[in-house]
Each structure stands twice: as C-alpha cells, then as structure tokens.
Structure 1
Amino acid sequence: MVWSLIRRRRAASRLPVPGRCTPGRHVLATERLLLFTPRTRLDVAAAVAASADAEAQRWLGTLADEVVPDPGVRRALLAWRPAGDDGRRIPRELAEPYAPGPDDPLLLVCVRRSDLTYAGALELQHVQGEMGGWLAPGCRGRGLGGELFRAGVELAHTHLGLATIRAGAEPGNTASRGALARAGFVPDEGPPRHTLSDGRVIDALWHRNDTAAPSRCPALTATD
C-alpha cells in the first residue's frame, strides 16, 4: 500500500504545475481542468482525437488530413493519460517530445484534474486575438466549456498580454455560445459568414472579452 501511494504521488508530480510557465509553454488550471502546452506527441494526438467525431466536426470543419477518422483509434488515444502519469508505457512514437513552432497557433491540451483523463483542447491565434476550443465526447454536457473558455481568457489577458480576445460560433451552436457567455464574453460585431478550414461557409456570431489591464506571464517577460 505504501509503495503504491508513493508511485501515484511521483506520477502526479510529473504534470506541469500552474504558475510555472516556461518560454513557449504555459500552464493554467480551473476548478476541474488542467491545461498545458503539449509535452509529447501523445498530448497532441489526444487533443486532435477529442475533436474528431462527427458532432464536433459539424462545428469545427477541420481539414480531413488533420483529424483521426477511426473511432477505435480515437477511443484508444483518449484512454491514455499524459505520458508517464499513469504508470503505463506508451508507444515510442507517441512518447516523443513535442516542441511547438514559433508561428503555430498556441495549443493547450487539457485533462480533468480528478482522474487525468484527456478532456479536450484550447487553441488561440495570438496574432489575430481569436480563440477556439473543444471538449472530448465524454466531457460534454458537464459545464466544462465555460471553464475551458475562462482559461482561454486568462491565457490571453494575463499570459499573452492581449487586451481583447474574440471567438466566433454558429448561431445554432448553443453549447459553445452558452459556454462563452459563462466565461464572460459579450456579443461583438464581426463578419456574418465564416469559412472553415474544410471550405464550408457558415453563419457566424462573434463574441469578445476585454480587460483594461493586460499582463504577461514571467516566462514571456523574461525573454523580452
């Protein structure tokens, strides 16, 4: 029993710690979610798998070569825990370190703090100041969307120094619109039509969240 407790404590300690951002990598926490810059290819693959089902792709419209089409593979990826944090050895190619590119959108994978299961991801286009996010199928309908977008607000305003962050949603996507409202977003003006990555053109409603005092996390200010 003592040995099993020690092993669990050591495994948990491998997770990134909120407040300890490093250059190019961020860590945030909400009541039920831990969000961090992917550390391994598994983190990225799980983030992609969380959005690859038909329900999510109805709204996201990701390019076909950027999703995980096989439901069995998606389930397998989402069944893992962040590499090394549940004591299981993952395939070598998924354990390889992940290094975000300087021009890539800022991606944070998220896990549920209660059991470390992959819960979804947050993506922020920091140049345009636009944010999007998604939850894994098993995490929808639990009120986690508001927490996910609140983390995005914190990332934008207190980590990246953005005074305004915007997000768009289809009029019929009431779940996303409700989550944005719970995160403090208000209606904003914007193009009434939006083209998704797969070429579909959809109706769009825009939302914004502002702060009068944006700031940057120490990991960024240290590199200025």
Structure 2
Amino acid sequence: MVWSRLRRGRDAPGLPLPGVCGHRRHTLRTGRLLLYSLETRLDLAAALAAGSDPEAQWWLGWDKHIMTDPKVREVYVQLRPGDTDSLRRYPAVQRLLRHPVEPLSGEAVALIGVRVDDGRYAGFAELEPDTGLIGGWLAPHARGLGLGVELFGAAASLGHTHLGLRTVRAGHEPANTASARALAGAGFVADDGPPRHTLRNGREVDACWLRHTAPGTISRCRAAGRQDRRNP
C-alpha cells in the first residue's frame, strides 16, 4: 500500500492509501475498515481510548495507568483522523499529531482502524510476529455491526500476506460471545492452549484458543523486511 506519510501533520493529516507497504508500515483495507500502522501519538491515544470503556475493560483487564480518562476518551474515538478541520478544534490533538510513532523491529505490529463510512477511529489490532498471537478491540460506536469479523480477518491477513506467518492464533474468554462470533466469522477454528489466562490487571480467567491457517501461499511485504520467520 502507498504510505502517504508526508501528507500527515498539522496542516494536512491525510490517511494511508492502498498501494505498497514500506518503512515498517502496513496498510490493509476491508469492506468497511481502513487499517494502518500507528503513525502519530494521536493514533496511539485513539487506540487506547477505543478500549478504555468499562465494557471493553471487563474483557481486556488493563492496568489503570493505561486506560484513557473518561472525560477525553469519547473525544478521541469520535475523531476523524483524515479530517483536517475537525482536528484543528483541539489544541491537545494538534500536539499529539506533531509527535510521530516509529514502528520498531521485533515489536508487535499494531494497526489502528478507521471506519470507511464516516472516517472515525474504529478500533485496534496487533500481532506478535514471534508467536503469531493477535488481539484487538473495537470502539463503542463500532460494536454490534459485524466489524469484528473484518478486524480479525485483517489481522489474519496481516500475518499471512504481510509477515509470512502460516498460522496466527487468538484467545478469548468462553463468556465473550462477541469475540467468539467475530473470530469464527473471520475463519478461526478451535485450537489447543492453556485453559487459564492472567490479564494485565491480575485477574485470572478461563480461556479458549483458536487458530487461523493461511488457505494459500504466504508472503512477506516490503514493510516486514527479510528477517527469518519464527512461525513458518
């Protein structure tokens, strides 16, 4: 995908456009989502805000210092990162836009999602290249619309056609039926794994594990480089 990075900034935020990946940055497009590598601290703030509400935190279980203050989280998830005029309304947003986020080799590959229909931040997905483990969440306004299928499907595609991973995996609590439906809809099937999992806040939960295996040829894009794969 063509990375329109030079279009981002105070004057013309822009968004990544379909083309060729590069600079350790990826872009994927589904039917209703555009997903791209975090570029500025605003993308990071929006990603955290999308999962900081009580409903999401019941399943995610983050440390309190990671969660976004309730007073500002709704502002972030309602922003349209490609709309210059709307971003100029908030001085704090302008400051976040001025600070880039540089993807680092060996770290989890993170993608921020934007709704194609209205341009709002919609959610977040990440994939650990060493383990093939994916995770993700949707902003409150993006839930209940079937976008979880697209989010997890894009994460699987990231692994198979961008990072060269034959298999990716995901986990969820048995009671988290929304995640279960989204993963199943994205083509994930049951897999073996530890029956219990500890969240970051220390809460131990039951766990179900699933896998997604590439239906065809796997490949690596330019953004992934040529390092050896640990998950053939």
Pairing 1:154–2:157 present: yes
Task: State how 1:21-170 maps to structure 2 within 5 Å.
Answer: 21-68=21-68, 70-82=69-81, 85-87=83-85, 88-89=87-88, 90=90, 91=92, 92-95=94-97, 96-170=99-173
Structure 1 residues without counterparts, runs of 5 or longer = 1-10
Q: Any stretches of 5+ residues in structure 2 without a counterpart?
A: 1-10
Partner of 1:187: 190
Give how far 1:23 is off: 2.5
Q: Which amino acid aligns with 1:45?
A: A
Residue 104 of structure 1: how far off its partner (Å): 2.9
Residues 1:206 and 2:209 aligned together: yes
SS of 1:73's equivalent?
A: helix
- 1:72 Cα shift? 2.1
Q: Distance in 2 between matches of 1:115 and 1:19?
A: 22
Is the Cα contact below 8 Å between 1:112 and 1:119 reproduced in 2? Answer: yes
Equivalent pair of 1:158/1:216 in contact (CA under 8 Å): yes
Q: Quote the offset at 1:205 in angstroms.
A: 0.4
Please report how far the alpha carbon of residue 18 of structure 1 lies from its aligned counterpart in structure 2 after TM superposition.
2.5
Residues in 1 aligned to 2:127 and 2:226: alpha-carbon distance in whole angstroms: 21
Structure 1 position 17 matched with structure 2 position 17: yes
**8 Å CA contact retained: 1:43, 1:109:** yes
User: What amino acid maps onto 1:220 in structure 2?
Assistant: A
Going from structure 1 to structure 2, the CA distance change for 1:22 and 1:164 (only over 3 Å counts) comes to same
Q: Distance in 2 between matches of 1:17 and 1:202?
A: 40
Tell me how far 1:214 sits from its aligned partner. 1.4
1:12 positional shift? 9.2
Once the 2 structures are TM-superposed, how far is the Cα of residue 170 of structure 1 from its aligned partner? 0.3
Identical pairs, percent = 52
Taking the aligned partners of 2:46 and 2:107, their CA distance within structure 1 comes to: 18
3-state secondary structure, aligned to 2:76: helix
In structure 1, the partner of 2:224 is 220
* Cα deviation 1:140-176 (Å, max 9, x = unaligned): 0000000000101110000000001000000000000
Q: Check whether the contact 2:123–2:137 (CA below 8 A) recurs between aligned residues.
A: yes
> Structure 2 CA distance, aligned partners of 1:86 and 1:136?
21
Question: Which residue identity does 1:66 align to in structure 2?
Answer: I
> Deviations for 1:118-153, whole angstroms, at most 9, x for unmatched residues?
001001111111001100001100000000001011
Structure 1 counterpart SS, 2:84: coil
C-alpha displacement at 1:223, in angstroms? 8.0
Tell me, yes or no, if the aligned pair for 1:15 and 1:85 is still in contact at 8 Å: no
Secondary structure of residue in 2 paired with 1:66: coil
Query: Which has the higher mean CA deviation after the structures are superposed, 33-42 or 98-107?
Result: 98-107
TM-score (norm 2): 0.85
Greater displacement, 98-107 / 134-143: 98-107
Measure, in 2, the Cα distance between the counterparts of 1:116 and 1:160. Answer: 27
